[in-house]
Amino acid sequence: MVETGRDWLSSLSESQREIVLALKLRGAATAKELAGELFLTVGGVRHHLALMVSGGLVSARQEPSPRGRPGLRYALTERGHGLFADGHMVLATEILGELEQLDPAILQVLMERQASRLLGEAAPLAMGGAGEDGLAGAVSVFDRHGCMPLLEMDANGAAEITLRHCPLLAAASASRSVCEAEVSFLRAALGQRKVTLKEHRRAGGEVCRFRVEPVPAGAAGG
């Protein structure tokens, strides 16, 4: 019997599940930061983290402190991220890996179709290539696919879309075409806005982060 992420997740205590989810959503954090967010004691959080470090779900690294001894900053390991993964992705990863080696052209066609499917989902959601409506529609599609997206806008009209979970991480590790399909989807959905992949977990990042530039001058009116 293969033990899945859901099996592991169900074996954790309620507080441990809250800590794992907080690390998933916000990224690396100290025990004090987690305790403040979750209304738990710092000592209790440290105890839970120590157990999960020993279980390989969480990593701890020393962080320089301006005063006193260095503190510890905790983050989910790949095994910890795997708590959120679906078991069927093992098969998908194997298939993508084989296609990458045997016939990259077919794989490219499949990923283009995936980008088109995502675009089809986004079409009813106010997609137009400009403004917050289009961004919100794209984010809604990522949310439907379990990516835990976060949309942040700045004063200049630029935006960042952060995907805090990657259901396809194992597959993306086997083939970069998975990430390319997501970028293609965003570029097609947002039209004239430039989209750049700034950080991604395939290259060791904690999250996947897309930078969306403001609507080009003179283009907003069509």
Predicted local confidence at residue 33, as pLDDT: 92
Q: Please give the model's pTM, rounded to 2 decimal places.
A: 0.62
Rounded to whole angstroms, what are the CA distances from 1 to 4, 7, 64, 87, 176? 9, 11, 43, 12, 30
Instruction: Classify the C-alpha dihedral 45-46-51-57 as positive or negative.
Output: positive
Q: Which of 195, 209, 191, 203 is nearest to 150 (CA)?
A: 209
- Which segment of 7-21, 23-37, 142-156 scores lowest on mean pLDDT? 7-21
In Å, the largest CA–CA distance within the chain is: 59
d(CA 84, CA 108): 27
Beta pairing class for 195-199 and 159-163: unpaired
- Which segment of 14-18, 96-100, 173-177, 193-197 scores lowest on mean pLDDT? 96-100
Q: How is residue 29 written in tokens?
A: 């954090």
Q: Please write the tens of the pLDDT for every residue from 79-119.
A: 888 787 655 555 566 666 777 777 777 677 776 777 667 76
Question: Where does 104-207 show beta strands of DSSP type E?
Answer: 149-153, 159-163, 195-199
Percent of the chain with pLDDT over 90: 27
With a cut of 50, say whether residue 184 has pLDDT above it: yes
Q: Which residues pair with 90 in a beta bridge?
A: none
Other CB atoms within 10 Å distance of the CB of residue 101: 10
User: Do the Cβ atoms of 196 and 211 come closer than 8 Å?
Assistant: yes
Q: Please write the tens of the pLDDT for every residue from 19-38.
A: 998 898 788 999 999 999 88
